[in-house]
A and B are shown apart, each in its own frame.
Chain A
Amino acid sequence: MKDRKTTHFGYQEVPVEEKAGRVAEVFHSVAARYDVMNDLMSGGIHRLWKRFTIELSGARPGQKILDIAGGTGDLTARFSRIVGASGQVVLADINESMLRVGRDRLLDRGIAGNVVPVQADAQYLPFPDNTFDCITIAFGLRNVTDKDLALRSMLRVLKPGGRLLVLEFSKPESKLLEKVYDQYSFRLLPFMGKLVADDAESYRYLAESIRMHPDQETLKQMMADAGFVDCEFHNMTGGIVALHRGIKP
């Protein structure tokens, strides 16, 4: 028991093999109200973060894009329009509930034909080497048990010259903003979760998992260690969120 490897689940230490199951429980719980809560929690700004991500992806008609942790399909919908009928977007998520919500929502909006939903673990991507022109993972990496393994897996399935974009909560640049953000995350966020989704615990986990996620420089180094080159990051909304970009050599 002593030698059992552990990892963090929010502020808790849990056995490595348990984390995926516990994250899955959180997302099964919030899937139905995920979009409403995202808008409520960020005041709609998450749409602007995703918009910037799409722009920096450099996606073009005819390309193959992998949207990991694609959840309810926000990025996939936009990519689908850009790559057109000659391209393809793979909407991947480890969580069945999130994937089902995303797939149905895309179909309801008439987005089909060039979108393929796939239930996949970011650490063991079920695709051949050198498949995608671009990979995005938005607000998903912090939930992955072994981030280094996931980054190496993404590098493998990217084509040479392909881009990885990681959009994730990060560390605010200003101390004052950090304090305000802490109050918001640990007091208001669970309260809103309780009110709207009747699930304060899942939103407490969200706040804790953000604090446990590597900061901007650490994640940039992790991407470089995994084999990406020209790694850079852009802070958004004062560093509350950062967009990291790396290229497969």
Chain B
Amino acid sequence: MSDPTYRAGFDAALETAINTALQYDPATRTRLQALDGTVMALDLSAPTLQCCLCIEGDQVRVRQHWAGDVTTSIRCSAISLVRLLKDSDATPAALGVSISGSSALLAELQWIMSDLDIDWEAPLAQLFGDIPAHSIGNALRSAGSWLSASLSRAPVAAAETISEEWQLTPPQAQFEAFADDLSELSLATERLEARVRLLQAQFSRGEAE
């Protein structure tokens, strides 16, 4: 059995991260308060992790062991859980998420997560003041949108580099034209074969008569 100190450290770090983020979204904290006393048990695969998220006031406690009542139990992969919580239209069945207990808590958390709006500028403002924090925030937002646009263009750009610059593969248009020609040739060959077979049959019948 692994040393419980490590697991306690992981839970403490996760709990601190969640509650620190919540500190900068007062609206979400208020909504969480309405869920005070509810407990969500998670049994995650990939990575394997069992824990309970206990909502106490406007804070979330992460516990490995919980002897009290559990409001909702969820069993799924970590990615499915993230997708489920991020997309309020996602359904558990489509993502392979198994739920027992009350599904109302999950629906409420989905709703809260979809409206999550953490004011990341607030901790920066505490460190550097309002104006520098806003400038840093703008710079980070620009960098974020550039990164997001770059990542969405990345597959197309990579394909162009491989075919056009390095010439390791033919360009897509050339490949598609080649594939069309090949397909046409294949069909023409099949038609010719059929025609020859037909002529052979006619010729055989003529000889017999």
Collect the chain A residues with CB atoms within 8 Å of residue B56's CB.
81-82
- From the candidates B3, B11, B65, name the one contacting A237 in the complex (CB within 8 A): B3
Question: Are the CB atoms of A55 and B64 closer together than 8 Å?
Answer: yes
The reply to whether B3 and A238 contact each other, CB–CB distance below 8 Å, is yes
Stretch at the interface among A15-23, A45-53, A96-104, A195-203: A45-53
Give bound CA distance, A58 to B67, whole Å: 5
| B residues near A82, Cβ cutoff 8 Å | 56
Is A55 within 8 A of B5, CB to CB? no
Residue of A nearest to B36 (CB): A84
Are A56 and B65 in touch, CB under 8 angstroms?
Answer: yes
Number of A-B contacts (CB under 8 A): 39
Interface size class of A (residues with CB under 8 A): 20 to 34
* Chain A residues within an 8 Å CB radius of B4: 52, 234, 236, 243
Cβ 8 A contact of A51, one of B3, B11, B66, B67 = B11
Q: What 1/0 mask marks residues of chain B from 55 to 94 whose CB sits below 8 Å from any chain A CB?
A: 0100000011111100000000000000000000000000
Q: How far is the CA of A227 from the CA of B174 in the complex (A)?
A: 85
**Is A126 on the interface with B (CB-CB < 8 A)?**
no
Indicate whether B37 reaches chain A with its CB closer than 8 angstroms: yes
A235–B3 CB distance below 8 A: yes
With A and B bound together, what is the CA distance between A238 and B5 in angstroms?
Answer: 9
A61 part of interface (Cβ distance < 8 Å): yes
**Interface-centre pick from A47, A48, A59, A81 (highest chain B CB count, 10 A):** A48
A45 to B5, CA, bound (A): 8
Report which of A48, A56, A58, A60 forms a contact with B5, defined as CB distance below 8 A: A48
Known: A61-B37, A81-B56. A49 touches B67 (CB 8 A): no
**Closest chain B residue to A58 by CB distance?**
B67
A45-87 CB contacts (< 8 Å) to partner B: 45, 47-49, 51-52, 55-56, 58-61, 81-82
Q: Which residues of B contact A234 (CB under 8 A)?
A: 4
Grouping DSSP codes into helix (H, G, I), strand (E, B) and loop, the B interface class, with mixed when no group exceeds half, is mixed
CB atoms of B3 and A61 under 8 A apart: no
The CA of A214 and the CA of B10, in the complex, are separated in Å by 30
Q: State how many angstroms separate the Cβ of A197 from the closest Cβ of chain B.
A: 25
Q: How far is the CB of B54 from chain A (nearest CB, A)?
A: 9
Chain A nearest CB, measured from B36 CB (Å): 10
> What is the CB-to-nearest-CB distance from B133 to chain A, in angstroms, rounded to a whole number?
29
Q: Could you tell me if B68 and A51 are in contact, using CB atoms closer than 8 angstroms? A: no
Q: Given A52-B4, A236-B3, A237-B3 in contact, is the A60-B12 Cβ separation under 8 Å?
A: no
Bound Cα distance A56, B37 (Å): 19
Question: Is B9 an interface residue when CB atoms closer than 8 A count as contact?
Answer: yes
Q: State the CA gap A51–B65 with chains docked (Å).
A: 11
Q: B185 on the interface (CB 8 Å rule)?
A: no
Please give me the 7 A-B residue pairs with the lowest Cβ-Cβ distance, nearest first.
A58-B67, A48-B8, A60-B68, A55-B65, A51-B8, A52-B8, A52-B4
Beyond contacts A47-B12, A236-B3, A236-B4: 15 other A-B pairs, Cβ-Cβ < 8 A, are A48-B8, A48-B9, A49-B5, A51-B12, A52-B5, A55-B8, A55-B65, A56-B65, A60-B67, A60-B68, A61-B68, A82-B56, A236-B5, A237-B5, A238-B3
